[in-house]
Structure 1
Amino acid sequence: MTESASLRAHAAVPFMNPLSEADVDGAIAGLELPAGARVVETGCGAAVLLRRVLAAHPGASGVGVDPDGEALARARAAGVDAELIEARAQDAGLREGAFDLVVNVAASHAHGGFPDALRELRALARPHGGLVLFGEGFWAREPSPAFLDALGGATADELPLGLDALLDAARAAGLAPVAPPRVASAADWAAYEDGLAAEAERYDDAEARDYAARIRARHALPYGRDTFGFALLVLQR
């Protein structure tokens, strides 16, 4: 199986999201997990975040779930010490209420997208104190029709408008924020998306060239670099 253009391009950046390593590692270090914590990452891709959580919290055990076998192969090659399940989240046999920490960052699609994912992530977390490390995009400004078209026909209702709306959705799903949100800066976004485009342009195939061209075209639009936001939330059930 050939790796997707997105997976290949993401080899050039730390995560499959625009967050800085300092923000991600800071959020992980601040998690208050019990001894022998059970951790699951849904939509884990190459399980980069799961690996960092387990390294920062010795004694924790992990499960990573993703339907992309190529991404999981990268996780295994990187030495991720966790159970890795090639399946959709709903088909992985995950037991509700069984996890001290549920990780889902830039992967709400693994649960049908925002905001429904929040309810499913809450259900996986341990009652009365289980944590959810949730990373999601939001519109930093109202997206223009041209911007949505450049995303391949996205719709404005796919993401919340503003960080406050994202936090309100978490609360509505029964999850309480327990730490200040960590929000990707303009510099974080530039490093992420420019890195993706440059890496994709290294490959001489139509899929990779098209992937890079879409990023460049979106950036050329008015507010092309100022419409997306992304936040990392630590939430508690």
Structure 2
Amino acid sequence: MASASFRAHAAVPFMNPLSEADVDGAIAALALPPGARVLDTGCGAGQLLLRVLEAHPEATGVGVDPDADSLARARADAEARVPGRAPELIEAPAQDAGLPPGSFDLVVNVAASHAHGGFPDALDELAALARPGGGLVLLGEGYWMREPSDAFLAALGGATADELPLGLDALIAAARAAGLEPLAVAEATEADWAAYEEGLAAEAERYEDEDARAYARRIRERRALPGGASTFGFALLTLRR
């Protein structure tokens, strides 16, 4: 049986709280060359990669993820959405996928910096994969909007405060330190977060197994904590190498 998280995410557009309008706007604004090569690391079910290929018909894509269930959904969706242009999907951790550095016009990594060791190490690896002299990185990363409480960190499953930057400015500064120039930024709003997390909880509660029920319960309990809906932020950054 697929994980509770995978099943719950069937109810939301992405495995992150970004709105469809923000994602589609960022993708439409990408200045990709003809025949652009697009890489999505930690691509999951490939929803972002497929949107890029739909919006940029001359682009070709590669998606990398170790989760077989997610890639199976990506393959099925690709046949319907980009017939004849299905991306190459590699079932492996990013570091084991044999990705050639400096070879991609766009590198996508959204809610998946763990595929490169987490923040901030992922930034250097993503920059290295992008084409020198103008390759783009579409990065979706979390940050703390306020100092997380011990209770909030425990509710995330034992997270630590140093896993993410404190504030959006710190996230942007880290991107610059990796040699990436910010071109555009979109932030998930409080309403985006509510729609995302409440959607996940409601979908998980449709299942009768304890894993799914516990997944929903953890979300609702965390959101009920003081600051539970105002501690975690998430942004989509368009960056240029």
* TM-score normalised by the chain length of structure 1: 0.98
Distance 2:107 2:70 in 1: 19
Quote the residue 2:62 is aligned against.
63
* 2:159 counterpart letter in structure 1: A
* 1:126 counterpart letter in structure 2: R
Q: Which of 88, 91, 109 pairs up with 1:86?
A: 91
Distance 2:78 2:172 in 1: 34
Residue 226 (structure 2) pairs with residue 216 (structure 1) = no
Quote the residue 2:131 is aligned against.
126
Residue 189 (structure 2) pairs with residue 190 (structure 1) = no
Distance 2:220 2:204 in 1: 11
Distance 1:212 1:112 in 2: 27
Segments ≥4 residues shifted beyond 2 Å:
none
Distance 1:231 1:36 in 2: 28
1:78 aligned counterpart, secondary structure: helix
Count of aligned pairs between the two proteins: 235
Distance 1:112 1:201 in 2: 32
- Percent sequence identity over aligned pairs: 76
**Which ranges of structure 2 fall in alignment gaps of 5 or more residues?**
80-85
Quote the residue 1:236 is aligned against.
240
1:25-174 map, 5 Å: 25-79=24-78, 81-174=86-179
* TM-score normalised by the chain length of structure 2: 0.97
Quote the RMSD (CA, aligned, Å): 0.6
* 1:156 counterpart letter in structure 2: A
Distance 1:125 1:142 in 2: 33
Quote the residue 2:82 is aligned against.
none
Distance 1:225 1:218 in 2: 8
Q: 1:79, CA displacement in angstroms?
A: 2.0
